[in-house]
């Protein structure tokens, strides 16, 4: 099913870290913000990395991101996707990521999963010229990777 990205990128002028996913999940699209599926481990991991409790409310998540100079967006502006399955993604149209880069202070790019990493490198790296680091997908479908192992991987964000 064709999905269009409906959530604006979250960033500020002083954002230094950009974390890219592929496409918001149905729950995230419904709630209007990133990584909002209740079993997604993204917010838990970021809280653990920075040793902070991140609340459930979107404004608290935004405040956390601002304090840590983290921007969020996705590689895909639209694509064919089944539910939230990255492996099903086809016919990708990418987001114009340069507007985030030009209007912020992005120095580091991380992707949440292999598909986002692959798409970033295929479509966006040549324009952006910032090497991305691939993090584990925090998706609830990626249950084979323990939270502890994910946390080790995500520690790279805190430089």
b/e string for 58-93 if b means 16 or more Cβ within 10 A?
A: eeebeebbeebbbbbbbbbebbebeebebeebeebe
The DSSP annotation for 71-94 comes to EEEESEEEEE-STT-GGG-EEEEE
> Which residue out of 14, 40, 95, 98 is catalytically annotated?
40
Please name the helix (run of DSSP H) or strand (run of DSSP E) that holds residue 117, with its range, or none. helix 114-119
* 40 catalytic per annotation: yes
* Residues known to be catalytic: 40
């Amino acid at each position: 099913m064709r999905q269009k990205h409906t959530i604006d990128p979250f960033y500020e002028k002083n954002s230094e870290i950009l974390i890219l996913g592929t496409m918001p999940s149905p729950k995230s699209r419904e709630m209007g913000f990133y990584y909002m599926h209740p079993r997604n481990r993204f917010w838990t991991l970021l809280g653990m990395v920075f040793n902070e409790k991140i609340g459930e409310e979107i404004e608290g998540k935004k405040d956390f991101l601002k304090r840590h100079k983290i921007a969020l967006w996705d590689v895909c502006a639209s694509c064919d996707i089944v539910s939230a399955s990255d492996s099903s993604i086809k016919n990708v149209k990418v987001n114009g990521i340069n507007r985030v880069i030009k209007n912020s202070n992005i120095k580091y790019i991380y992707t949440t999963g292999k598909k986002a990493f692959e798409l970033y490198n295929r479509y966006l790296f040549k324009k952006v010229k910032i090497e991305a680091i691939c993090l584990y997908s925090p998706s609830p479908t990626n249950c084979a990777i323990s939270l502890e192992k994910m946390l080790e991987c995500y520690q790279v964000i805190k430089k």
